[in-house]
Structures are given as structure tokens and as C-alpha cells.
Structure 1
Amino acid sequence: MIPVQGFDGQRVAVLGLGRSGLATARALRAGGAEALCWDDGAAAREVAAGEGFVVQDPCAEGALEGVAALITSPGIPHLYPKPHRAIAAAWAAGVPVDNDVGLFFRSLALSDWGDLDEPPKVVAVTGSNGKSTTSALIAHVLEAAGRPVQLAGNIGRGVLDIDPPGEGGVVVLELSSYQIDLARALTPDIAVFTNLSPDHLDRHGGMGGYFAAKARLFTMGGPDRAVIGVDEDEGRYLANQLAEGPGDMRLIRVSAQKIAGPGWDLVARKGWLSEMRKGRQVASIDLRQVAGLPGAHNHQNAACAYGVARALGLSPKEIEAGFHSFEGLPHRSQRVAEINGVSFVNDSKATNVDAAVKALGAFTRIRWICGGLEKEGGMSALAPAAGGVVKAYVIGREAAAFALHLGDVPHEVCGDMATAVARAAAEAEPGDTVLLAPAAASFDQYDSFEHRGRDFMEQVARLQG
């Protein structure tokens, strides 16, 4: 646990008592603060009370008097589509609002770090797609090379729930736009931006607000080094803002296009990862042989992870060895089974159009299971990207409406996962891939994308008897 610093002897309100909320309350208590806990769900309040925390509605009259801060969970809206009533109450009372990520960055460094030969470092990864795989891959490569590392944030443990890092330790954080947007302190040593595509637009008031939330990770604290995907305008903008000149080696640019500038560039193209410095290639890795990272989108993730590992002092050979032992993450291009020459792949994490497009590009002869709760940002990119699709099998409560976005792609409205898997398996031929890449959120039928992915895997397991 990371004890929260700066609130010793003070009262701090905690809003939202899920995984991060309870961890925050415990970390506040460990730092000498009194945590006043609240959740709109009665069951969560009972859990907090059972741990001895004071349960108090921050909207009650006088509840915020003498409160030093309100710490909110990332899933609770603080601005768009409208502020939660407790956050609005904090504004009215002049109480600062923060989240666990902000507390983490203000509390991590300890007084004895000055005595360490190699103080700990924090790597923070954000972006629309690939941040989970990139974060996990960074942690895996470091661990395989013998470096002490912890994975936390939007993946792994809560940011305040990790152990205090020691000599040479590295903390790898996956951070969503929700987590970055409200944090009052953001000071990673290395920050990574994978890419940007429309997502969570209702929460951020549009693409501009969404990008602004991501950009705070780079513009607020100023990381010592940045690894930036530059295949979208937003990434190019960030890279330009951070670099002091064309040859600034604190910036590592990542692209799927040919670039050979005067600085430090990583190109993931046609299955190869090339490291370029000052226009010359200094190392390369054949990513086509890395089973846990299939497809061009995962090659971009590998390039981002490579950049971080190189910045932390690892050699290309150490990184390549780590790549080959990486098995991938559940629900992200996860190979579930092969039955009678047909591969079954679970990419339930492809919850938006851009992620689904990248998943489709990783395979040929695809039996595509898609559909769910549509997100803002449009679906126009789906049909053009489906050139390798033999047939689509559409699920979701509004499956028929979703199917309209597929254009001339052959499709069948199945409605539920069991029907879709059964139909795809029955029609698949050896060499085909049955791919779950929904291009939509899961909440019309499931609690989460993990729940949806598990259902897919269970249906595939039934095919095996």
C-alpha cells in the first residue's frame, strides 16, 4: 500500500467504493487521514462500514464542512454529461476534488529515495487502443530481464494498492482518460501515448475534450521521456509540443510508416520493428515470429513497449526475448482454440470501431462475431475494413440495426453469443478464423467486455465437447 501523504489528521471524503475507492480509503487511513466514505450503492457502503470507515453522504447538509478534499472514483462523471451531485456539492463548498491517481503521484516518493543508487521510476501508458497490452508487455519484458516491476492502474492492482517500490523498481500504470482527466498531480518519468480514436465522447464532451484529457498526462507534469504514436494528428501535435527541436532524444516517435528523422524513431511496418536513431537503423526485431502479438496493431504496441524498455536501459536482445515469452492478455486477440482447422479468437476488448478494424486486419478468412451497444463516433469505417470477412454474425439487443452498418458484407442476425458461435462454427472451413471483435460496448447484454469474452470462450468450449 502507498500511504497517502499530505492529509495527516484531516478528514477526506471518498466517493465511490469499488476497487479503487476502498483502496483509496485504506491508503488515506494509513497516511493518518480520516476517510469519510460514500457510495450510491448500499452494499458497497456496508463493506466500508465493515472495515470501520465512517459512512457519510457528502451531499448531506454540513457534510463537507472541515473536509480537506473529495476523492472520486474514475467512473463517476465530474463534468459531462453532468457532474455527480456530490462533486457539484464539493465545488459549491470550495472543497478540492481529486482522484486516486492524483494522490498516488503526490504520495509515491519517500524521503529515503535520495539514498538509493537507482530511485524507482513510473511509466504511465494511455491511448484509445492497445494501452492494456502495451502496459502488460512493458511489465513482462522488465520482469523477464530481472527488473523489479509492478503493474497497476486500469489493469492489475489499484494505484494506491501496490507495494512501495524500492531500489531500481519500476511502476507501470495503465491510465484511462477517466483517470487522467481529474488527477491534480501527474508526474511520470516516462509517458506513452499509443493512438487516438473516438471513444467515451459523451464523458468528455466530444473528441476535443477526450484528447485534452489524454494530453494532460504529458502537459501537466512534463515526463522526462515520452513515447508517442504519431500516426494520427493528435499524436503528431503532442510530439511537436514536447520536443525542443527535431533531434530531441527525449522524444521517441512510434509509427507504422517510414520515418527516419534526426531523432529517435521506432517503425513497426510489415511485421518488422526497426529502431532508428538520427536517421540510421540501430536494431530490428522480426515481430512476425512473436506468437503473443499478432497483427499490425499489436506490432505498434510492441514498438511502444520497446521504446520504454530501451529508455530504461534494456538491450534489444533482452527486449526481443521478453516479446517471445509474452502470452498476451485475455480478451485481446486471445487464441482460444483450434477445432478441425478453424481458429477461435477472443478480442472482446475491441469495444470501439478502431479496435475492431485493427483486429480484422490481423487475420484472413474471418467469421466475424460483432455487435453490441454502439458508441458515439460513427461506424463508417467498419464495412471498408471487412475485406477479409467471409461472413459476419451479429449479436446484441439491436443486432438488426447494427447490421445496417456492414454494407455489402454477408451477415446473419444472431442476437446472442450462443447462436453466433454455433452458426459461425457450423459454416467455417479449415483455415478460417472465428473472431469475436464486437466494435461496440457490451452493456446491452453483459456486465463488461470480460463477461462477454468469457461467454464466447464458454460457447467455444462446448463445441469441443
Structure 2
Amino acid sequence: MIPVQGYEGRKVGVLGLGRSGLAAAAALEAGGAEALLWDDSQEARDAAEGRGFTVTKLTRDMDELAALIVSPGIPHLYPAPNPVIEAALRAGVPVDNDIGLFFRSFATPEWSELDVTPKVIAVTGSNGKSTTSALIHHCLEVAGKPCQLAGNIGRGVLDIDPAHDGEVVVLELSSYQTDLARSLTPDVAVFTNLSEDHLDRHAGMGGYFAAKRRLFAEGGPDRAVIGVDEAEGLYLANQLSEGMVDDQVIRVSVTGKVGGMGWNVTAKKGFLAERRKGKQIGSIDLREMRGLPGRHNHQNACAAYAALRSLGIAPRVIEKGFESFGGLPHRSQHLGEKDGVTFVNDSKATNVDSAAQALQAFQNIRWIAGGLGKEGGISSLVPHLDSVKKAYLIGHSARDFALEISDTDYAICEVMERAVEQAFEEAEPGDTILLAPAAASFDQYPNFELRGDAFAAEVKKILAR
């Protein structure tokens, strides 16, 4: 646990009692503060009281609070502030979150006795931030570096252990987290990409980009790794750079060669190349990296490579880490092979953009798709269906999807068991059975993880035959 500094002997409100809220409350009390908790859910309040915390309606105690700590899922501005947050804003109570508490509390006076100062790598972006964060952490482990993984992935940021000598903490941060944190001071900050998401929470793309940009503007990282394949990333890299040869900014691209004499990491046709001052100084063949299939994962690999190189990790060590990286569950996860047929679980592909990335990563696809379709349907996927031999459609939107996939062959399977079995019966050696639903899971499963687990369970039966 990271005890929170700066609130000893003072009352601090905690709004939202999920994983991050309860961890923040414990860390505040470990640092000598008095935590006062609230959640709209009676069940959550009862659970907090059962752990010994003080639960109270925070609007009654606002004048006594030194700060209000808010969980990520609670809106503080758009589409409208939560009433407790609005009360704090009107009372002048500083509003923060667990990320802000982490950055103000991670460094301690004891660090003066360490030989190598600990570092923090923070990763944000619309897509790929989980894979990028996990890949960085995995490569650090391969390199023998002490490291921890936290944030949206791994442990809560205040749940991690106090830093060891030379340790690296890798944080995955969402826009909800970067938008509100009052302190953001990573040593290395990574921006993967930007695409439309959470627009109601940020009142449009401008607000969404502004939330991501805070990670780079508030504290000024020593190194910034920026994906420049979208206009926003290109603009951000330009804002942070002092000139063409400024190596504070490492530009990442998978759409073409980055110009200039700066520090760049690019991937073209599966080959990663690192260039600095116009000279290539490192390269990796990504084509056979089973845990990193497709261009979207090549972008993740470039971002991870750049972050690791900024810490001085050698290219060959990074390549070794890439080779042994198994991928994250439900994200282009290789489950196994049977009779020449490969099974891939990308249940996290809950929208057309992420499904398109998965469909471009493989050949000879037998595509399992469907669920609770989203606004706009999936007709925009038609240009990406050239490698699909047949679609096996499940869930609430199966018949709607069938009408939108042009002349692609399909079967209405409705349930996962039937889809997997029929796809395997019809598959030929060299085919890939890919779960990339392009839809939410809530018609049949509580979340995409359980949908992916259901797919994996059916695949396990086949592999055991």
C-alpha cells in the first residue's frame, strides 16, 4: 500500500466505493487522514462499513473536508456533475482521484537512500493501452528489472508496494483518470492513439483529447512516447518538442515513415525500426510474434519498445520479451491449434473499430460475431471482410448483422457453443476461428470477459479431443 501524504489529521471524503475508492480510503487512513465514505449503493455502503470505514452522506460534511476523492466512473463535469461533486465544487473543496493521490505520495524521503531512483511509466490512449502496459511490464521482467503493473490493469495504484531501488511502476490510465487527477508526474508518458470513445463524458472529441493531453501537460514527463498516426497525436508531439532533434519526444507510427531527424519508432509490413538522428539503431521482426498479431498490435509493440528504450533497455532484450509475450486475455489471445486450425479470442472487440483491427490481423477467418449490437451497426466492416470465409452469428443482433455483411457467407448460430462447433466442423487447415464480436455482451453475458471465457471453454473441449 502507498500511504497518502499531505492529509494527516484531516478529513477527506471518498465518493464511490469500488476497488479504487476502497483502496483510496485505506491509503488515506494509512497516511493519518480520517476517511469519510459514500456510495449511492446501499450494498457498497454496507460492505465498506463491514471493513470498518466510516460511511456518511458527504453533502452534510462538506465544510469539514480537506478534499474529495472521486472514483473514475462518477461524472464530475459532463454530462452533469454528481450532486456530491457539485457540492464540493461550490464549497471550494479540492476534487481529486486516486491517481492524483498516488503521484503526490509515491515518492518519499527514504528515496534519498536508494541507489537508483524509481520511475513511473504511464500509458494512455483510446486503444491498445492495456496491451502496451502489459507488454512493457513483461519486458521489464524479462530484463530482470523490479517492476509493478497497476491502474486500469493489475492492481489499484494505491494498492501497490512502496518502491524498491530502481523499480519501475507501469500504469495504464483511462481518460476518466487523467481528466481529474490534480497531480500527474510520470517519468515516461505514452499516448497510443485516439478514436471516438466516451464522448458523452467529455462533451465531444475536443474534451476527450484534452483529458488525455493532461498526462503530458500537467507535469511534463522526461520522455513522451506519442503515436502520430492521428491528427491529435501529431499535434501533441509537435507541442511537446523543442525541435527536430529534440529526443524528449519519441514518435511512433505504423502508417508510414516518420520524417525528420528525431527519435522515431515505426513498423511497416511487420518490421519494427528505431531511428535516431536519421540513423537506424534497432529493428525487430514482429511477424512471428504470436502474442502481437496485426497492425494494431504492432503499434502497441512500437509504443512499448520506445518506452523501454527510453529507460535504456537493449533492443535484443526487448525482442526477447516480445517473443515470450502471450498477449492479454480476450485481446487477440491465441488459445491453441487443432488439426491445423487456430483459435483466437478477441472478445474485447466490442465495437466495429476494434473488430476491424482483429479482422485485418488474420487470414482465412471463420468469424464468430454478434451480441448486443451498437448504434450504427456493422456495415462499415464490409471493407475488412475479404479474409472472412464465413461468419457465425450469435446473440441478439445476429440477424441484423447478417443483413449488413454484404455477400459474406454466414450461419445464424445464436449461441456460442453452436458457433464454435460449426466453425470447427467446417474449418480447413490454415483457417483461424476468430471471436471478434463487434458488439456488447450484455444480451447473453454480464461482460466481455465472461463471453471470452465461454468461447475459451468451447475451444478447450475441441483441443481435448
- TM-score of the aligned structures, taking structure 2 as reference length: 0.95
Alpha-carbon distance change, 53 to 37 in structure 1, aligned in 2, over 3 angstroms: same
Q: Which digits, 9 at most, give the CA deviation of each residue in 1:217-259, with x for residues without a partner?
A: 1122111111111111111011111111111111111111122
Match of 2:244 in 1: 246
Match of 2:276 in 1: 277
CA contact (8 A) 2:378 2:401 kept: no
User: 1:102 deviation in Å?
Assistant: 0.9
Q: 2:192 aligns with which of 191, 194, 217?
A: 194
1:333 partnered with 2:332 = yes
CA contact (8 A) 1:341 1:432 kept: yes
Match of 1:311 in 2: 310
User: 1:98 deviation in Å?
Assistant: 1.2
Alpha-carbon distance change, 401 to 351 in structure 1, aligned in 2, over 3 angstroms: same
CA contact (8 A) 2:70 2:97 kept: yes
Number of residue pairs the alignment of both structures matches: 463
Q: Which digits, 9 at most, give the CA deviation of each residue in 1:372-423, with x for residues without a partner?
A: 3445687554111121111222333233334444333333343332333233
* 1:415-426 matched pairs, under 5 angstroms: 415-426=414-425
Q: Which digits, 9 at most, give the CA deviation of each residue in 1:298-348, with x for residues without a partner?
A: 111111111111110111111111111212111111111323322110011
Q: 2:378 and 2:79 mapped to 1: Cα distance?
A: 22
User: 1:16 deviation in Å?
Assistant: 1.4
SS of the equivalent of 1:382 reads helix
Worse overlay, 263-272 or 198-207: 198-207
SS of the equivalent of 1:7 reads coil
Q: Which digits, 9 at most, give the CA deviation of each residue in 1:264-308, with x for residues without a partner?
A: 011111111111111111111111232222222211111111111
User: 1:168 deviation in Å?
Assistant: 0.8
Q: Which digits, 9 at most, give the CA deviation of each residue in 1:66-110, with x for residues without a partner?
A: 011211111222223332232223223332221101111111111
Q: Residue type matched to 1:289 in 2?
A: E
Q: 2:286 and 2:405 mapped to 1: Cα distance?
A: 31
Alpha-carbon distance change, 220 to 402 in structure 1, aligned in 2, over 3 angstroms: farther
CA contact (8 A) 1:352 1:375 kept: yes
Alpha-carbon distance change, 378 to 78 in structure 1, aligned in 2, over 3 angstroms: farther
Could you list the runs of 5+ residues in structure 1 that have no partner in the other structure? none
User: 1:130 deviation in Å?
Assistant: 1.1
Match of 2:405 in 1: 406
Match of 1:95 in 2: 93
Match of 1:391 in 2: 390
Q: 2:323 and 2:235 mapped to 1: Cα distance?
A: 33
Match of 2:7 in 1: 7
Match of 1:133 in 2: 131
Worse overlay, 84-93 or 274-283: 84-93
CA contact (8 A) 2:175 2:211 kept: yes
Alpha-carbon distance change, 146 to 432 in structure 1, aligned in 2, over 3 angstroms: same
Q: Residue type matched to 1:97 in 2?
A: V
Q: Which digits, 9 at most, give the CA deviation of each residue in 1:40-64, with x for residues without a partner?
A: 22222222112211011224xx232
Q: Which digits, 9 at most, give the CA deviation of each residue in 1:121-141, with x for residues without a partner?
A: 100001111111110111111
SS of the equivalent of 2:37 reads strand
Q: Which digits, 9 at most, give the CA deviation of each residue in 1:179-206, with x for residues without a partner?
A: 1111111111100011112222222222
User: 1:3 deviation in Å?
Assistant: 0.6
Match of 2:17 in 1: 17
Q: Residue type matched to 1:43 in 2?
A: E
CA contact (8 A) 2:272 2:283 kept: yes
SS of the equivalent of 2:347 reads coil
Alpha-carbon distance change, 211 to 290 in structure 1, aligned in 2, over 3 angstroms: same
SS of the equivalent of 1:64 reads helix
SS of the equivalent of 2:29 reads helix
CA contact (8 A) 1:260 1:280 kept: no
Q: 1:226 and 1:2 mapped to 2: Cα distance?
A: 25
* 1:361-376 matched pairs, under 5 angstroms: 361-375=360-374
Q: 1:420 and 1:77 mapped to 2: Cα distance?
A: 39
Q: 2:194 and 2:43 mapped to 1: Cα distance?
A: 37
Match of 2:285 in 1: 286
Match of 2:453 in 1: 454
CA contact (8 A) 1:260 1:278 kept: no
1:220 partnered with 2:218 = yes
CA contact (8 A) 2:13 2:36 kept: yes
Q: Residue type matched to 1:55 in 2?
A: V
SS of the equivalent of 1:306 reads helix
Q: Residue type matched to 2:153 in 1?
A: I
User: 1:112 deviation in Å?
Assistant: 2.5
Match of 1:208 in 2: 206
Alpha-carbon distance change, 66 to 186 in structure 1, aligned in 2, over 3 angstroms: same
User: 1:371 deviation in Å?
Assistant: 2.7
Q: Residue type matched to 1:138 in 2?
A: I
Alpha-carbon distance change, 375 to 5 in structure 1, aligned in 2, over 3 angstroms: farther
Q: 2:376 and 2:2 mapped to 1: Cα distance?
A: 38
CA contact (8 A) 1:373 1:443 kept: yes
Alpha-carbon distance change, 100 to 426 in structure 1, aligned in 2, over 3 angstroms: same
User: 1:11 deviation in Å?
Assistant: 1.1
Q: Which digits, 9 at most, give the CA deviation of each residue in 1:17-45, with x for residues without a partner?
A: 11111111100000111111122222222
Alpha-carbon distance change, 211 to 402 in structure 1, aligned in 2, over 3 angstroms: farther
* 1:167-178 matched pairs, under 5 angstroms: 167-178=165-176
CA contact (8 A) 2:250 2:264 kept: yes
Q: Residue type matched to 2:225 in 1?
A: V
Alpha-carbon distance change, 413 to 56 in structure 1, aligned in 2, over 3 angstroms: farther
CA contact (8 A) 1:200 1:376 kept: no
Match of 2:442 in 1: 443
CA contact (8 A) 1:58 1:89 kept: no
Q: 1:278 and 1:381 mapped to 2: Cα distance?
A: 40
Q: 1:381 and 1:265 mapped to 2: Cα distance?
A: 32
Q: 2:138 and 2:86 mapped to 1: Cα distance?
A: 41
Match of 1:78 in 2: 76
CA contact (8 A) 1:393 1:420 kept: yes
